[in-house]
Amino acid sequence: MNFSVEECYRILEVIPPLTPEDLKAAYKQQIKVWHPDRFAGDPDLQKKAQERIKAINEAFAILKNKESQSYPKPSNSPAGSDNTDEALKTEINGVVIPIVIICLFISVWVVAALQSKMILWIFLTFIFCLFLFFLSKIVLDPLRNNRPGP
């Protein structure tokens, strides 16, 4: 059974691109679902499950080979120099830059408020900055914890 790469994705019920970890997880899930021992009471279903397991194993082998060629092996390079860190920096910069612009706007607002001695404006600005701080934590922490890559 020589499958095309598209058929392999369909057999493992995944959508490309995949990390090696995603591929392994999909493989393990399909093995759990189609393990022949689950169908021990029905010989016909057990035979179908055995055929499905063979297809899953072959699809996994094909995709594992393909995906291992797609992802470079981790090296002992210093932190900050690999593609994962670059992708994370780009993703974080997409969030941080607008926040920095908003904070610059707020600082101008604070200066104007101080010059006109509007305590209410200063207080509201402080509250708004706290809001932005917590918003950035909510947005950036998941990005830092769910790093893409091998």
Residuewise pLDDT in 10s, the chain (150 residues) = 688 888 888 888 888 877 888 889 988 998 898 888 888 888 898 899 899 989 999 988 888 887 666 555 555 545 444 555 665 565 555 666 677 777 777 777 777 767 766 677 777 777 877 787 777 777 666 666 655 544
In whole angstroms, give the CA distance from residue 36 to residue 135: 49
Lookup: tokens for 107: 């600082």
How many CA atoms within 13 Å lie on the side-chain side of 90?
Answer: 7
**CATH code assigned to 5-70:** 1.10.287.110
What is this structure's pTM?
A: 0.46
Q: Tell me how crowded residue 63 is: count the other CB atoms within 10 A of its CB.
A: 24
Q: Distance between terminal CA atoms of the chain? A: 29
Contact at 8 Å (CB) between 55 and 11? yes
Domain boundaries, the chain: 5-70, 83-145
